[in-house]
Structure formats: C-alpha cells, structure tokens
Amino acid sequence: MTLLRTIRSVFTINSRKYSSNLQIKKPPKILITGGLGQLGVECAKYLRGKYGRENVLLSDIIKPTTEVFNDGPYIFADILDFKGLQKIVVNHRVDWLIHFSALLSAIGEQNVPLAVRVNIEGMHNVIELAKQYGLRIFVPSTIGAFGPDSPRNPTPNITVQRPRTIYGVSKVHAELLGEYYYYKFGLDFRCLRFPGVISSDPPGGGTTDYAIAIFHDVIRKGRYECYLKPDTMLPMMHVRDALRALSEYLEAPNEMLQRRVYNVTSMSFTPEELADRMVKHLPEFQITYKPDSRQEIADSWPQVFDDSEARRDWNWKPQVDLDDLVKLMVKEVKEKIAANGF
C-alpha cells in the first residue's frame, strides 16, 4: 500500500506540474512586415483569431485604412532600417517574425534596383534581426523561384531553380540564406513556396494575379482581357488554404521538419478552365486574350507543384478546390465591391 500511495503521489504532483505548464504557456507575439501587401491583412486577422488581437502586430510604411487600424495593433516599420526593427522587437517583445515585404514579379521587373533593396537588403536585415533576438522567422517563397530549366510538371521540392526574374532570384537567395542561418546558427527559419494566392483583394502585380483580376473585371464590367494565353497552366491556392498552411507550418515542432523550405499548393488550372467554371455563376461575360510580357514569366514557372514532402512531414492537406474557389471569389468580390461603393 505504501508503494501504491507513493506512485499516486508522484503521479498527482507530475499531473499538477503538467497542468500548470499548460496554463502558463503564453501565445507568441508576432510581427508581420509588409502587412498591407497581398497577404498581410488577412494573415493578421487569421492569427489574431488564434492567438489574440494584441499578440499580432501588423506593420508597413504605408498609412493604413481606418478598418485595418481599428482591427488591431498597427505600427510603422521600414525593413531597410535595422535599428528601427531592433527597437520594435525589443519594445514589443516579439517572438515570431513573418516577413511579407517584397516587390512581386511583374512590379519587380519594372524597377529592379528597388526590388534588390526591398527583397534582398530587407531580407538581410530581418534574418540578422531574427538571429540576434532568437526569433522564429517565416519568409514566403514562390513558384517564381523556379525557372525554364526546372521540371514543370510536376516541380519537386528539390530541383534546379535558376529563375529569370529579380523576384525569383531574390526568393532563391532568401531560401538559401535562411537554410544557411539554420545550419550555421540554429536559427528557426521556415519558408513555404506558395503558388498563385487568390483572394478578394485587388491584384497586386503578380503574374498569377489574372485569377484575381478576372473576378473584379467580370463582376464590375462583364468582360476581361487576359494577359496570358488560354492554355497557360499555373499552380494556385485560395488565401484560406495559404493562411492555414502558414499557420500549421509555423506551429509544427522542429523535429517533424526534414526541410526548412517546402512546396505547398491546392490545384492547377488555366485561364480557360477558370473561365469555364465561372460561367456557372456569372453566365454572361466575355473573355479575350492578349498575352504580354507576363506570358514569358509564366512560361518559365511550374505548371504542377509537387507538395508531397509537406504532406508527409507536417500533414499538409488543402481544403479548397477549384469549384470552391470560384464560389468563394464570386461571393467575396461582390461583397468587397459593394462595400467600397464601385
């Protein structure tokens, strides 16, 4: 009986310790840079729902809308100002850094020197910041990190890359630098290569953004002129899946991760296939095709993304297919246009 009592006593004490550890575990304090770009605002909303409004700090160099400002903490942060970034991390006791600041593919080609500063020098600053303060850092990459020498269907996680846009070059640089800091300094660097991310926000200058612009133009004007050929297949993902992938990957224990950089995707489709699905919801619209310089970029990118390693290592699985994406976009874009009064 004495031994039994001792075992019960030890079990009770250990259980109390375990329970108290669960109770005192605090959510991470998260800083998002480039927060008014393609993913930032939606990412902040998503993570605030999980970790609390005050624990997600949105930042950019642009004045936010009233809605964004009222939604949660927002501050000015210039990724080219290292001392300013240090001050933010110290004053706000930041634990995780999500680095969205970047010029996208088509915009970057129009201003290469600025893209080098923002995409490359900015990356140097945030990764050194993360190393200095022991932060977990997430940097998104892209299908644009691949080039014409890469296998396109499917594109595996590890293969030749050699992109031909400054955006793609800067993302390969970020991937390799982050992996180097992980192996050299033990930095908790994490990166996902996203496909085209589709949301109801207006297009932001990416080559895959035709799949956003088509909904805005068709709903507003009843027609759309596509800058890619009708049979141009590219990998895509609704923003819901993108944010869920980001969140699940950030939470995954390090011991589960065999890589620091993973492909993720939901589907692949062409402009013609997307238009065919849209007809079910918007029966009368016109689509024409006038390929421009973005066609050359798209022709160098993956057609089908192989994300089997993400599925294997941290159980990634998309939930939004093409039919779901079209339904969501029609509904969300209509709501956004109505709310903005145009």
Mind telling me the catalytic residues?
A: 167
Query: What's the CA angle centered on 73, arms 68 and 75, to 5 degrees?
Result: 90
166 touches 114 (CB < 8 A): no
Q: What are phi and psi of 77, to 5 degrees?
A: -150, 120
Q: How far apart are CA 316 and CA 245, in angstroms?
A: 7
